[in-house]
């Protein structure tokens, strides 16, 4: 019986973690699709989380080794990271990264371009085009790049809340049954049944 309880508990935790991951993805997509995008202005004070050590996007051939300026702004569940630099030929390079999720950024998408030299570029697997329905503004993209720390923290938080939502009512029901002298498993009235005896209805011991 104890082994069965451990298996049930493990499956419940695993299910909550899977659902928590799904909630994390849907939350990030919801902010990316519907929430207002934060704006950034350069130059600005650098965030302690974003040092000018490299581009916040994959390395692009011909670009400067590192950006000159990085600005960060968070609005609701979206964070905008903007990086810019100039090449010796005077061309201006820019990259925008939008990180989405709550309470921590969990997924990201990026665009990068050279001003005046073609449209913005995206990694093929970096984002999905949001459907043009359900009131989603035109041109929105759904992020596909996972930010490991934020994704893990958001998933654990969601899983904990889901687990509490499942277990709390069960714990309250067991407590009420114990106070009324009923079987903790099936609610059968154990009046006249010895404490060490199994429940006449379901066969489980009172301590179960």
Q: What DSSP line would sit under 54-117, residue for residue?
A: S-SS---TTS-SS-SEEEEEEETTEEEEEEEEE-TTS-EEEEEEEEE-SSS--EEEEEEEETTS
pLDDT at position 51 is 46
Q: Mean pLDDT throughout 140-151?
A: 92
Domain boundaries, the chain: 11-153
Q: What is the pLDDT of residue 207?
A: 55
Burial of 98 (0-12, 13-18, 19+ CB in 10 A): buried
DSSP per-residue codes, 17-65: HHHHHHHHHHHHHHHHHHSPPP---SS-PPPTT--SSS-SS---TTS-S
Please give the residue that has the higher pLDDT: either 146 or 63: 146
User: Confidence band (pLDDT; 50, 70, 90) for 166?
Assistant: confident
Rg of the chain taking only CA atoms, in angstroms = 26
By the 8 A CB rule, do 186 and 199 touch? yes
Greatest alpha-carbon span in the chain: 93
The percent of residues above 90 in pLDDT, for the chain, comes to 27
Query: Using one digit for the tens of pLDDT, what is the confidence trace for 31-43?
Result: 999 998 887 765 4
């Amino acid at each position: 019986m104890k082994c069965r309880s451990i298996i049930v508990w493990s499956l419940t935790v695993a299910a909550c973690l899977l659902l928590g991951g799904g909630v994390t993805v849907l939350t990030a997509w919801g902010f990316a699709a519907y929430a207002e995008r934060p704006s950034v202005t350069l130059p600005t004070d650098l965030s302690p989380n974003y040092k000018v050590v490299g581009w916040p996007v994959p390395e692009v051939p011909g670009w400067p080794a590192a950006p000159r300026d990085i600005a960060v702004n968070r609005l609701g569940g979206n964070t905008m990271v903007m990086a810019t630099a100039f090449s010796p030929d005077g061309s201006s390079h820019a990259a925008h990264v939008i990180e989405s999720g709550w309470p921590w950024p969990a997924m990201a998408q990026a665009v990068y371009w050279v001003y005046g030299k073609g449209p913005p570029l995206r990694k093929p697997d970096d984002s999905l085009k949001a459907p043009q329905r359900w009131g989603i503004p035109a041109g929105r993209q759904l992020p596909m790049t996972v930010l490991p720390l934020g994704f893990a923290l958001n998933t654990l938080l969601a899983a904990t809340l889901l687990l509490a939502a499942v277990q709390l009512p069960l714990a309250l029901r067991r407590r009420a049954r114990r106070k009324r002298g009923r079987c903790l498993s099936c609610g059968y009235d154990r009046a006249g049944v010895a404490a060490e005896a199994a429940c006449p209805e379901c066969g489980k011991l009172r301590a179960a």
